[in-house]
Chain A
């Protein structure tokens, strides 16, 4: 009886007709391999992050070592590859160490906000109705303020410092991430496969875990990765305003602020922290754009 119902395509032909089996992440990797632009920016990002992580070993000098006589020297001056800053500290070392603080301030708030905001968004999207209205209206209140203003206001109210700055940034990032997660969840929840999973009689947590989360994670992660560059810029901005990291810590935003006064004396030195911020955030944006394209498997 069961032989009567087999698919009559000969296996060999079916194999010829079918595309190669790569799996989801395999396909994403395959696509990225053939996207030189994205690969280039991912490489730069990896280099920046590695440089920040290994700054104690890479930095040629002590980033806190001041020298009155060696202020604002040009690149290449006596072993200072990128010259010195307004207090005679080694610019390259400070940029390397500064990457640690700036990247942490850019990345950590986004990670925490992804967990909190994403979680709230998934709950709101899947529950719908009153729960959704409650969560999303609260988020709308935060939305009413421009993100820069909100970050400044919160960290200003809590007092400056790196930790408070990061808390402020986390709070700023929760509403947009919540919104993205909620939209993605609402879309997925209305697809038939979620109904099919519910129709097996499986408990809600299993349906959420196996069928909803995996499909929401992609868009949320992509959005979060694009927020990291915003985070770096905002963190630098807070430091620039004196609300984030305090001197003499080497933070890119803070360095930019301090070197501002030297812009007529040594424009190159004044531009360097800005260039670091620019390179990192542009790479982050380009990489997440490429990732977005590669992760859209069905296109």
Chain B
């Protein structure tokens, strides 16, 4: 019995550069979705879904990505899996460029990186018993059917579901939390090193959400996994992440260690986001909203700093020039804001320095 097959090996033979080498480095990732219009279906504009995003994920850490709808966080997930082809950008997985000469192919990368989707219902084939959904990946890579199903049942145990009861069921016979456990088991079936969790707990009820979060943490420790955790829920991201990246309209506005971001946010948008969380105490109700209005449309994002239209500290320089994040692939606490840059010309810049 292959009970040890999922235990973390002390030295993973797939680990190339050692613990110091980042597992994933992304530089200047870009994706513009064309909007077609008119009689001829010509491209009339672009949605700038992801516009020059760079970051690094270390081995064994969890990088949280937060932002509001339309900020491009889900597109980042699909770009990392190559479910969507990027327009530009470089993706290096454990020292090897993905999909380039001398690097690793997209198929090889996909064996090591898996994804869990938000909608637990639509991410399972309704006509397939769940254990077959889990076994699909291994079978596709040449495992014997019986072996793959046996492994799927072992994985069911691992995610806390009794294989005798649940293995043969169909998705519509399971609750949302159970389906998400199946999705996690499927992501584990190819023994990946990294899992991208795209709003993986957002659709679950609060009492079930906590169960799945605990499961994810336990699996990470046990199987030596690296997570990219995408969510709009700031509380959940803080609990699970080592480092956090905040996105706004397709760009990274702030990145850094989770505690630093939550206790000392540098970007006005991050501050607004944190201050917008409802307080759990009726005596500390918010009287004023931190920012007004909705996030602008990513089709025609504002010039300069994209947050300047809603920012309480906006000055002429903010609409004129886009602030830079600096070395985004490093591990420090960085914010793309003119107030953080002494030479930017923003009046608050020197005060903060």
Contacts and interface: CB of A to CB of B under 8 A. Distances in A.
Do A and B touch directly, given a CB cutoff of 8 Å in the complex?
A: yes
Interface of A: 1-2, 4-7, 11, 14-15, 18-19, 21, 23-24, 191-193, 195-203, 206, 210-211, 214-215, 297-298
B141 A18 contact: no
B165 A192 contact: no
Contact of A211 (B108, B115, B125): B125
B222 interface: yes
B311 interface: no
A199 B114 contact: yes
Which has the most chain B C-beta neighbours within 10 Å: A1, A14, A210, A297? A210
A197 B165 contact: no
Contacts of B140: 200-203, 206
Contact of B110 (A199, A210, A297, A298): A199
Nearest to B174: A18
Interface stretch (B212-220, B225-233, B288-296, B317-325): B212-220
Nearest to A1: B222
Nearest to B114: A199
Contacts of B125: 193, 197, 210-211, 214-215
A140 to B, nearest CB: 15
B165 A24 contact: no
Contact of B128 (A14, A203, A210): A210
B124 interface: yes
B181 A1 contact: no
A199 B123 CA distance: 12
26 contacts: A5-B159, A5-B214, A5-B219, A21-B173, A23-B129, A23-B168, A24-B126, A195-B78, A195-B117, A196-B183, A199-B83, A199-B115, A200-B111, A200-B136, A200-B140, A200-B190, A201-B106, A201-B110, A201-B111, A201-B190, A202-B140, A206-B136, A210-B128, A210-B136, A211-B136, A214-B127
B32 interface: no
A132 to B, nearest CB: 13
B286 interface: no
B170 A24 contact: yes
Interface in B149-203: 157-162, 165, 168-170, 172-173, 178, 181, 183, 186, 189-190
Interface in B45-75: none
A195 B84 CA distance: 10
| Residue from B83, B108, B125, B190 having most chain A Cβ neighbours under 10 A | B125
B83 A198 contact: yes
B284 interface: no
A7 B83 contact: no
Nearest to B132: A210
B270 interface: no
B110 A1 contact: no
- Residue from A5, A24, A191 having most chain B Cβ neighbours under 10 A: A5
Q: Which 10 A-B pairs have the closest CB atoms?
A: A202-B140, A192-B123, A200-B137, A201-B110, A7-B160, A201-B107, A192-B117, A5-B218, A214-B127, A6-B160
Contacts of A7: 160-162, 178, 181, 211
Given A200-B190, A202-B136, A193 B173 contact: no
Contacts of A206: 136, 140
B218 A23 contact: no
A18 B83 CA distance: 34
Most chain B beta carbons < 10 A, residue from A19, A193, A298: A193
Interface string B74-101: 0000100101000000000000000000
A14 B178 CA distance: 11
Nearest to A6: B160
Contacts of B122: 191-193
B242 interface: no
A74 B295 CA distance: 82
Interface string B31-46: 0000000000000000
A244 to B, nearest CB: 38
A25 to B, nearest CB: 10
Contacts of B144: none
Nearest to A214: B127
A248 B276 CA distance: 84
A1 B221 contact: yes
B119 interface: yes
Contacts of A15: 165
A204 B179 CA distance: 25
Contact of B162 (A11, A21, A298): A11
Given A196-B117, A201-B111, A2 B169 contact: no
Residue among B118, B160, B181, B186 with the highest chain A CB neighbour number at 10 A: B160
Residue of B117, B136, B172, B222 contacting most chain A CB atoms (<10 Å): B136
Contact of B137 (A18, A19, A24, A202): A202
Contacts of A200: 110-111, 114, 136-137, 140-141, 189-190
B91 to A, nearest CB: 15
A2 B4 CA distance: 12
A21 B81 contact: no
B131 to A, nearest CB: 12
A206 B141 CA distance: 10
B25 interface: no
Contacts of B172: 297-298
A196 B186 contact: yes
A250 B118 CA distance: 60
Contacts of B162: 7, 11, 14
Contacts of A298: 126, 172
A11 B122 CA distance: 26
A18 B110 contact: no
B133 interface: yes
Given A1-B221, A195-B83, A24 B111 contact: no
A195 to B, nearest CB: 5
Given A1-B218, A195-B81, A195-B123, 10 more contacts: A1-B221, A11-B162, A21-B169, A24-B170, A196-B117, A200-B190, A201-B190, A202-B136, A297-B170, A297-B172
